[in-house]
Structure 1
């Protein structure tokens, strides 16, 4: 394939992906109404857990690149909300891309609750997570943001899901892959910390054939102080660590160092 042909093919793929994304966003309201009849008309919604509303603004969808015959949807189901506090479930849907029929549905109670640290946005992670032979998983990243200016917090967690027949189940829940926080005087003086992680699928197959995961983290820290009228960094440190994550009986088990607070 010459460069011109390759470039044309690449442009075609990018255009197709863009059209798919736009088409997905345009159809999302109809899909949400399909999954929750009456939502579009403002009808109060209720299920076995009580009343709820859809957070349409944070709802997302994506055609699954590894299995384009399927479309993924994630939406928060808000159960309770008040100033600075709320309870919200995470609903994950898998649709047949052609017929638009719902293939699988999973609701994780209280996955998106907030109290001072709120959910900023959701994002599908459709990297090729081949966790065991013949299976392909997908991920959802949840970005959270703290409300304190003096103690800011930003955090991204990753959860992985597997579709088997018409059953969707979580494989890995709320692994913190990126985070940053600070404790400062809002002008200069304070401590700052960042952690960036990369999740690697190893070759070692463990329980039930699921491959071990390896989280490699780079942690950086610094301390700033006001010196002679200038804000200066007076201490800096970098640490690289890694953690092996193995599959248990039903899902991947997080080491105690990585378990949610």
Structure 2
């Protein structure tokens, strides 16, 4: 029995790995399917104007809760300059069996950048049961700068709901990670790192959507050379949580995040 169980678990693990591999192996073909002529390197055009698809920073993931569906996220670059640019976020849902898109959503200017650039998109497929047994999924947008003296990195969470053949944004621009520092590249400096976790409560709020909490842990450090070694000379930890409630159309960010991102 133990041998059979181990074999079954091994098969499941290999199946999961194969699905993940298949997803990224087919990503280029799916982008071409969504944006014909992309592979030829041509500038494309839609109702918003000219754009190109940034395939390198686009991503995909088989939805574990609905393994017959694959989630895709693509950058549609509208304008590029040395220090800034404009880009839309496109989220797509693919029916694996039919190899057809069942839902598409474009969020204009969601991925605009200046000195702080978008460096990665990842899917968050934790079981976000926000209304009844309905499942939402997330896209995490990672941004960072290139400064060594003032390093900065943040991750913001966006949640979406698949309703028939429509994708609906439920939550946007929720900061779930933040790191920044000021130092002289020789140890001396100050650093702050915040990690946030989204908690789904049992309280049902407006339109049947459950209330959320953002639980944050912030660690602040001051570094300095001590006896020839770089050491933490001062450290403090702060824990706090912020409520997030559903309004008429989506979850509203806490007012505290308007002035203090984390």
Same fold by TM-score greater than 0.5: yes
**Corresponding position of 1:22:** 21
**Equivalent pair of 2:213/2:242 in contact (CA under 8 Å):** yes
Taking the TM superposition and a 5 Å limit, the aligned residue runs for 1:89-238 are: 89-238=88-237
Q: TM-score, normalised by structure 2?
A: 0.95
**Equivalent pair of 1:121/1:144 in contact (CA under 8 Å):** yes
Aligned counterparts of 1:3 and 1:168: Cα–Cα separation in 2 = 43
Q: TM-score, normalised by structure 1?
A: 0.95
Question: 1:47: Cα distance to partner?
Answer: 0.8
**Equivalent pair of 2:157/2:172 in contact (CA under 8 Å):** yes
**Equivalent pair of 1:63/1:97 in contact (CA under 8 Å):** no
Structure 2 unaligned segments of length 5 or more: list them. Answer: none
Question: 1:67: Cα distance to partner?
Answer: 1.0
Secondary structure of the structure 2 residue equivalent to 1:42:
coil
Taking the TM superposition and a 5 Å limit, the aligned residue runs for 1:63-74 are: 63-74=62-73
Deviations 1:44-65 (CA, angstroms, capped at 9, x unpaired): 2011111110000011111111
C-alpha distance 134-228 of structure 1, shift in aligned 2 (>3 A): closer
Aligned counterparts of 1:180 and 1:166: Cα–Cα separation in 2 = 37
Secondary structure of the structure 1 residue equivalent to 2:56:
helix
**Equivalent pair of 1:162/1:170 in contact (CA under 8 Å):** yes
Question: 1:258: Cα distance to partner?
Answer: 2.3
How many aligned residue pairs are there? 260
Deviations 1:19-63 (CA, angstroms, capped at 9, x unpaired): 111111122111111111111122320111111100000111111
Aligned counterparts of 2:179 and 2:26: Cα–Cα separation in 1 = 35
Aligned counterparts of 2:13 and 2:244: Cα–Cα separation in 1 = 34
Deviations 1:116-169 (CA, angstroms, capped at 9, x unpaired): 111111111111111111311000111111121111011111111001011101
